[in-house]
Structure 1
Amino acid sequence: MSDELTLLAQAGAAALVTAMATDAWQETRDTVAGLFRRGRRSAVATQLDGGAELVRDSAVPDEVRRALYGYWAQELAALLRQDPSCRAALAGLAVDLPAGAPGDRPARQTNTARDRGTVYAVQHGTLHVNGPEKQAAED
């Protein structure tokens, strides 16, 4: 498979998993399920719904999306090999990638120190401290 088709499959998978459990899900689901042949369409729709349910029920949905991404990138790559006519629809899906895709979000890290603990977590960046001001005299 050409690099271009591989990238298209990856972009389609990113759009797909990003849309899971969002307002864009139903349209994205229908588009992807519609790309597969009639015999596989209902099975793919069931898989898509199962993945969206995992994302929706997860405490960390972006981790589930990352796990599902690899599977769907492979499935969409296989689809493009079997039916290159799906290329335009998949490209349209990738272009309509919802804002705030997991890979587009800035990284965020939260560190908490308890019981007089100290956290040294800044290597290259800025430290923002939230919480009560340190008392002048300690117990």
Structure 2
Amino acid sequence: MDRELTALAEVGAAVVVSAMATDLWHAVKEGTLTVFRRMGGDRRRAVADQLDSNAAMVREADRPDEVRRALFGFWALELAAVLRQDPEARADLTRLVTGLEGGRTGPALVQTNTARDGGTVYAVQYGDQRVARDPE
């Protein structure tokens, strides 16, 4: 698989696991199932069950972001596999990760960070951020 499709699968996986246990989950789950629609009924049901199980793990976890990070690799592999088997799924996955105006299927990510009274904001989406400060 070429790098572009691998990157698309990874971005798709990030969208899927980031949406688990959030208000966006239903739309992202449906969009993910659309990617798998040509895989047959049994495969699609298995994917739906896996998505539900994974979302429950995230929802019930003490550290949901750690669970999301662990699930990222699994979903990147699953999405890459469907792209290899069904090149037409690329359009469905692209719609999921980019969303569509009016009939948005992917998440709309908005981040607002405000520091007040001499405060400092460190913010990141889809990843880790490590901040080292000199001891005072």
Taking structure 2 as the reference length, what is the TM-score of the superposition?
0.74
1:38 maps onto 2:40 in alignment? yes
Q: Distance in 1 between matches of 2:76 and 2:27?
A: 19
Q: Distance in 2 between matches of 1:86 and 1:9?
A: 11
Which residue in 2 is equivalent to 1:25? 25
Alpha-carbon distance change, 98 to 60 in structure 1, aligned in 2, over 3 angstroms: farther
Query: Which 4+ runs in 1 deviate beyond 6 A?
Result: none
Q: What percentage of aligned pairs have identical amino acids?
A: 48
Q: Is contact 1:19–1:98 with CA below 8 Å preserved after alignment?
A: no
Which residue in 1 is equivalent to 2:96? 93
Mind listing any 5+ residue stretches in structure 2 that lack a counterpart?
A: 99-105, 112-124
Q: Distance in 2 between matches of 1:38 and 1:2?
A: 25
Q: Distance in 1 between matches of 2:15 and 2:60?
A: 19
Alpha-carbon distance change, 60 to 98 in structure 1, aligned in 2, over 3 angstroms: farther
* From 62, 70, 77, the counterpart of 1:74: 77
Per-residue Cα deviation, 1:86-105 (whole angstroms, up to 9, x for no partner): 111211222244536442x6
Tell me the number of residue pairs that the alignment of Structure 1 and Structure 2 aligns.
112
Which is higher, the Rg of structure 1 or of structure 2?
A: 1
Q: Is contact 2:34–2:92 with CA below 8 Å preserved after alignment?
A: no
Shift of 1:125: 2.6
Counterpart of 1:6 in structure 2: which amino acid?
T
**What are the equivalent positions in structure 2 for 1:3-22 lying under 5 Å apart?**
3-22=3-22
Per-residue Cα deviation, 1:19-39 (whole angstroms, up to 9, x for no partner): 000011001111111222232
